[in-house]
Amino acid sequence: MYTPSLEKLSSELSRLPGIGPKTALRLSYFILRSPKDYVTALSEALVDVKNKVKLCEKCYSYTEQVLCRICLDPNRDNNLLCIVENPSDIPQIDSSGAFKGRYHVLHGVISPMEGISPRDLKIEPLFKRVQASKGTEDQINEVVLALDADLEGDTTALYIAKTLKTYDINVTRIAHGIPIGGDIDYIDHRTLGRALENRVQI
């Protein structure tokens, strides 16, 4: 039996990505049957995440302090900066163990189709950050663009590279190609084309 409160909870939950009306209702009943302690902890966690999490003043990743954990880490290479689309990309790249530099989060990519221009992203702060480092011992010498291999990723990479090259620094982009264990027979033409463009000496 639905009640106004159950209906309200279901309708809010169904706005979450991947949650349809049926799942939303099932979750609502689960919450209703749960001990009050759990429901209080859940509602506090929801409010806390919104109130406490903010953007790092340096790299624009998420933090609950002024600067994030990575910006505060003294054991990272200040001369190397990796550009990512979202904060969630950072742990992905970090867990590869192949990157020990700093990060900068754009919070999206340029998309004329969706009306997203460079001004809607953290691109200007990136240019300022690179410029401000010039001549200091923490000078950024290389910017690595770790963006998706799609139209928006390509557009954004080109836009950033064009400006950064005028600052006389090395701009690179992560290679795209055949996944480890991948079979050439099953790779699409565009991926194979990109893999050939990005071929390396062995």
Shortest separation between residue 61's beta carbon and Zn ion, angstroms: 5
Nearer to Zn ion, 59 or 146 (CB): 59
Q: What angle, rounded to 10 degrees, do the helices at 21-33 and 4-13 form?
A: 120
What is the C-alpha separation between 122 and 83, in angstroms, rounded? 10
Nearer to Zn ion, 14 or 86 (CB): 86
Across the strands, what pairs with 143?
81, 171
Looking at 21-29, 58-66, 75-83, 181-189, which segment touches Zn ion (CB under 5 A)?
58-66
Across the strands, what pairs with 144?
82, 172
Nearer to Zn ion, 13 or 123 (CB): 123
Number of residues that bind Zn ion (CB under 5 A): 6
Shortest separation between residue 145's beta carbon and Zn ion, angstroms: 18
- Asked if 104 contacts 82 with a C-beta cutoff of 8 angstroms, the reply is yes
What is the pattern of x (binds Zn ion, CB under 5 A) and - over residues 68-107?
Answer: x--x------------------------------------
What is the C-alpha separation between 70 and 99, in angstroms, rounded? 12
CA–chain centroid gap for 105, Å, is: 6
Asked if 58 is part of the footprint of Zn ion (rule: CB under 5 A), the reply reads yes
Looking at 59-67, 73-81, 158-166, 190-198, which segment touches Zn ion (CB under 5 A)?
59-67
CB-based contacts of 137, cutoff 8 Å, min separation 6: 78
Q: Which helix (H) or strand (E) holds 41?
A: helix 36-52
Looking at 30-38, 49-57, 150-158, 183-191, which segment touches Zn ion (CB under 5 A)?
49-57
Looking at 42-50, 63-71, 120-128, 154-162, which segment touches Zn ion (CB under 5 A)?
63-71
Q: What is the DSSP string of 128-157?
A: HHHHHHTTSTT---EEEE---SSHHHHHHH
Nearer to Zn ion, 105 or 145 (CB): 105
**Binding residues vs Zn ion (CB under 5 A):** 56, 58-59, 61, 68, 71
